[in-house]
């Protein structure tokens, strides 16, 4: 059972950098492995541990500046390797920066076609920076295979996967023939923390860099233009309710809620 | 501009029509066609009366995203819309993403606003854990999904033409469906929501939050660990990116640190109050009224004061 797992080097939403006008300083925000992609790597490794085979991690750099970011993207893939992936591929090309789910998914599909066939393709349900929830569905279309989203459980047997999809009101279990693309939720597992030794060993595992020319994909230009990226103007009052006793604070808070017309 | 609305169930057409009205007023008119799937044509027809030039209906008891997407792709090939718009339910996002993938279109998930004029559109999306807004200009044709329950239905008008379409088979087969465990009150509909987080030390202590919610006529929701890790509350009480999004009149975050994944789901609350003993907790960045206090000491006093006010 060979598993491809797609991981994104995402802007870390907990490390925002902003200038005085509220413009997001994208170039100063560190990249980190996207939260749910870590769950996808964990699931891929568990499937390998149970069924044998190998796990190959794929990533496309989607944030610039390219020179500075390549190392951060490699670091993200090294993390997947340290967790237990066997090999990794990174696609770096100016034409894919800044990324959007359309060109990213097409580029990932082109990478996979270049590298080889897999039984299962896993990724997180969405990336922690842009949360578009698109890549798995798009990969299904691009690779011409079934795609199943929002998995919180996956069982693999006899060339099929039984997947429990986490929808708003219910859990839906479906069966699908492999190969298939499956996106996972944060609830599917608890990702392992690699040991120091595993982190060191990850440096000996192959991490291959590819360009668009290598994979034979030419992205259309101007599909998505980012006009602006700014801090959400939070129109909150930001009042700290203070007082010399809890009674006083509580009374003040009740009065404020009355004034807001909420407590009547 | 020609817009194709995609509703995986007919009940979503009214809110899509609400979005269409907004878009139409910005663009000076739009032409709309609709797609939905329903157990019967009659069921669908109840919802196709919003001035759609044509409504395509797939008659099916149940459908998977791949089938719906394939059916819509055929309609797109026939109609050539400039925009394809669905609702950002999990199902809706998946269906529209498949359509966008098949047709080579950009897609904008859960747009919070749209600017339009001169035949062009700009979409606004919340990104970076809901803390930033990204303004994006797509090449058309493009696809988008709108937040669920955001747009109000316009007045229904004349029933338009309804065309039945066939659904192709799915690559998926259904094994079983389990209803998620339900709490008492739906937090998506409650006007006041009390959110509980890891500041609570044990399940029994949530009774304080329940009492507060009852006093205010509200419901209790929670952050991720309370539902996903501790299972103190059912998952339908979970507020967050992977849980529910709420837009109450008042949200009271108690013992919640304020991770972006949680706060982005309460951004639309009219008033936000937070109680946390850590004065540096990120939650205070997002609040109208903040109280730095130990919830175990503050809540009983606050509940008492509220009772006095409400009783008097």
Same domain, B93 and B161: yes
In this structure, are A8 and A118 located in the same domain?
Answer: yes
**Residue B81 to chain A, least CA–CA distance (Å):** 17
Give the count of domains, chain A: 2
Residues of B in contact with A174 (CB under 8 A): 64, 172-175
Does residue B293 form part of some domain? yes
**C-beta of residue B138 within 8 angstroms of C-beta of residue B114:** no
A238 and A178, same domain (yes or no) = no
Please indicate, yes or no, whether residues B98 and B206 belong to a single structural domain of this protein.
no
What does the alpha-carbon distance between residue A113 and residue A142 come to, in Å, rounded to a whole number? 10
The predicted complex's ipTM stands at 0.92
Q: How far away is chain B from the Cα of A54, in angstroms, using its nearest Cα?
A: 25
Q: Kindly give the parts of chain B with pLDDT less than 70.
A: 182-184, 312
Domain identity same for B145 and B197: no
The reply to whether B220 and B89 lie within a common domain is: no
In a domain, A250, yes or no: yes
Residue B174: inside a domain: no
Q: Within the 239-258 window of chain A, which residues sit less than 8 Å (CB to CB) from chain B?
A: 239-242, 246-247, 249-251, 253-254, 256-258
Contact A179, A200 (CB under 8 A): no
Residue B75 lies in a domain: yes
Q: Indicate whether B216 belongs to any domain.
A: yes
Chain B residues whose CB is inside 8 A of the A169 CB are 179-180, 236
Residue B172 lies in a domain: no
**A149 and A250 share one domain:** no
- A8 & A78 share domain: yes
**Which of chain B's residues have a Cβ under 8 Å away from the Cβ of A149?**
65, 90, 94
Residue A221 falls within a domain, yes or no?
Answer: no
User: What is the chain A residue with the closest CA to B140?
Assistant: A223
B137 plus B226 within the same structural domain: no
Q: Which of A137, A185, A240 sits opposite B290 (nearest CB)?
A: A240
For residues B151 and B231, state if they share a domain: no
Let me know: does A131 contact B145? Beta carbons within 8 Å: no
Structural domain boundaries enclosing A94:
3-215
Any domain includes B142: yes
Identify the pLDDT of residue B243: 83
Q: Assess whether B42 and B153 both reside in one domain.
A: yes
A206 in the same domain as A264: no
Check CB contact of A144 with chain B, cutoff 8 Å.
no
| One domain, residues A183 and A243 | no
User: Does the beta-carbon distance from A229 to B109 stay under 8 Å?
Assistant: no
State the Cα–Cα distance between residues B75 and B3, nearest whole angstrom: 12
Alpha carbon distance A113, A94 (integer Å) = 21
Domain CATH number, residue B160? 3.40.50.620
pLDDT at B30: 93
Give a yes or no: residue A29 inside a domain. Answer: yes
- The DSSP bridge pattern shows strands B219-222 and B192-196 to be parallel
**Based on the domain organization, do B16 and B141 belong to the same domain?**
yes
Output phi, psi for A205, to 5 deg.
-85, 150
Q: Which of A149, A186, A153, A169 is nearest to B236 (CA)?
A: A169
Contact A62, A103 (CB under 8 A): no
Count the domains in chain B: 2
Which of B172, B236, B286 lies nearest to residue A234, judging by beta carbons? B286
* Domain boundaries, position B196: 192-311
A238: in domain: yes
In a domain, B112, yes or no: yes
Looking at B121, B149, B165, the residue that finishes a domain is B165
Q: Is A56 contained in some domain? A: yes
Q: Is residue A169 part of a domain?
A: yes
Q: Are residues B156 and B265 in the same domain?
A: no
Q: Say if A170 is an interface residue toward chain B (CB within 8 Å).
A: yes
Residues A58 and A188 in one domain: yes
Predicted confidence at residue B183, as pLDDT, reads 64
Examine the domain organization and report whether A153 and A250 are in the same domain.
Answer: no
Q: Show the tokens assigned to B271.
A: 């008033």
Do A245 and A253 meet the contact criterion of CB atoms below 8 Å apart? no
Nearest to B289 among A220, A230, A253 (CB): A253
The predicted model scores a pTM of 0.88
- All residues of chain B having their beta carbon less than 8 Å from the beta carbon of residue A134 are 93, 97, 100-101, 107, 109
Distance (Å, whole) CA A123 – CA A143: 14
Residue of B10, B20, B2 lying closest to B151 (CA atoms): B20
Does A151 reside within a domain? yes
Tell me which chain B residue has its CA closest to the CA of residue A247: B301
CA distances from A113 to A106, A153, A177, B57 (A): 11, 27, 19, 36
User: Does A31 contact B at CB distance below 8 Å?
Assistant: no
Q: What is the pLDDT of residues A20-62, one digit of tens each?
A: 898 999 999 999 999 999 999 999 999 999 999 999 999 999 9
Q: Above 90 in pLDDT, residue A232?
A: no
What pLDDT, on a 0 to 100 scale, did the predictor assign at position B76? 98
Inter-chain CB proximity B306 and A254 less than 8 Å: yes
CATH number at residue A137: 3.40.50.620
Same structural domain, B13 and B74: yes
Q: Could you tell me if B90 and B200 lie in one domain?
A: no
Residues B84, B146 contacting (CB under 8 angstroms):
no
Q: Does B181 map to a domain?
A: no
Q: How far is A201 from chain B (nearest CA, A)?
A: 32
Asked whether residue A207 falls in the same domain as residue A77, the answer is: yes
Residues A133 and A190 in one domain: yes
- Is B150 in the same domain as B202? no
The CATH number given to whatever domain includes residue B258 is 3.40.50.1220
Q: Do A176 and B171 touch (CB under 8 A)?
A: yes
Chain B residues with CB under 8 Å of A171 CB are: 177-178, 180
A21 interfacial to chain B (CB closer than 8 Å): no
The verdict on residue A223 lying in a domain is no
**Which of the 8 DSSP states describes residue B264?**
T
Same domain for A94 and A208? Answer: yes
**Residues A131, A255: one domain?**
no
């Amino acid at each position: 059972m060979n598993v491809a797992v797609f991981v994104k080097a995402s802007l870390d939403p907990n490390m925002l950098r902003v200038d005085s006008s509220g413009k997001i300083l994208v170039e100063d925000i560190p990249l980190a492995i996207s939260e749910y992609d870590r769950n996808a790597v964990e699931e891929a490794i568990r499937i390998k541990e149970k069924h044998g085979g190998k796990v190959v991690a794929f990533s496309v750099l989607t944030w610039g500046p390219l020179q500075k970011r390549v190392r951060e993207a490699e670091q993200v893939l090294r993390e997947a390797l340290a967790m237990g992936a066997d090999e990794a591929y990174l696609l770096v090309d100016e034409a894919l920066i800044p990324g959007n789910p359309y060109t990213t998914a097409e580029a990932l599909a082109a990478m996979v076609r270049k590298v080889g066939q897999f039984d299962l393709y896993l990724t997180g349900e969405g990336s922690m920076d842009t949360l578009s929830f698109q890549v798995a569905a798009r990969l299904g279309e691009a690779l011409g295979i079934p795609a199943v989203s929002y998995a919180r459980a996956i069982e693999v047997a006899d060339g099929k996967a039984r997947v429990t999809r986490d929808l708003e009101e219910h859990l839906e279990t479906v069966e699908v023939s492999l190969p298939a693309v499956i996106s996972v939720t944060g609830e599917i597992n608890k990702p392992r923390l690699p040991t120091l030794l595993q982190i060191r060993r990850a440096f000996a595992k192959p991490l291959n860099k590819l360009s668009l020319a290598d994979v034979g994909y030419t992205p259309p230009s101007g599909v998505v233009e980012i006009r602006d990226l700014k801090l959400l103007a939070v129109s909150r009052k930001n009042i700290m309710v203070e007082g010399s006793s809890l009674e006083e604070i509580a009374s003040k808070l009740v009065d404020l809620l009355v004034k807001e017309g909420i407590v009547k | 501009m020609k817009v194709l609305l995609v509703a995986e169930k007919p009940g979503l057409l009214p809110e899509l029509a609400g979005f269409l009205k907004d878009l139409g007023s910005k663009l000076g008119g739009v032409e709309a066609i609709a797609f939905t799937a329903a157990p019967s044509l009659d069921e669908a027809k109840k919802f196709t009366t919003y001035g759609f030039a044509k409504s395509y209906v797939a008659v099916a008891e149940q459908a998977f995203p791949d089938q719906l997407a394939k059916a819509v792709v055929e309609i797109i090939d026939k109609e050539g819309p400039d925009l394809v718009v669905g609702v950002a339910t999990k199902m809706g996002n998946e269906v529209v993403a498949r359509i966008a993938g098949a047709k080579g279109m950009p897609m904008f998930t859960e747009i919070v606003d749209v600017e339009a004029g001169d035949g062009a559109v700009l979409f606004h999306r919340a990104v970076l854990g809901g803390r930033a807004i990204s303004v994006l200009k797509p090449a058309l044709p493009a696809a988008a999904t709108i937040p669920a329950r955001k747009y109000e239905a316009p007045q229904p008008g004349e029933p338009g033409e309804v065309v039945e379409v066939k659904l192709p088979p799915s690559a998926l087969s259904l094994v079983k469906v389990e209803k998620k465990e339900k709490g008492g009150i739906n937090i998506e509909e409650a006007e006041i929501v009390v959110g509980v987080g890891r500041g609570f030390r044990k399940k029994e202590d949530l009774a304080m939050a329940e009492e507060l919610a009852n006093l205010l006529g509200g419901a209790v929701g929670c952050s991720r660990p309370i539902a996903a890790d501790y299972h103190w509350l059912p998952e339908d009480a979970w507020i967050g990116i992977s849980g529910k999004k709420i837009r109450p009149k008042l949200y009271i975050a108690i013992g919640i640190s304020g991770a972006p994944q949680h706060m982005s789901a309460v951004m639309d609350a009219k008033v936000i109050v937070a109680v946390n003993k850590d004065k540096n907790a990120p939650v205070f960045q997002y609040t109208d009224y903040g109280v730095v206090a130990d919830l175990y000491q503050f809540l009983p006093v606050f509940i008492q004061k509220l009772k006095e006010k409400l009783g008097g």
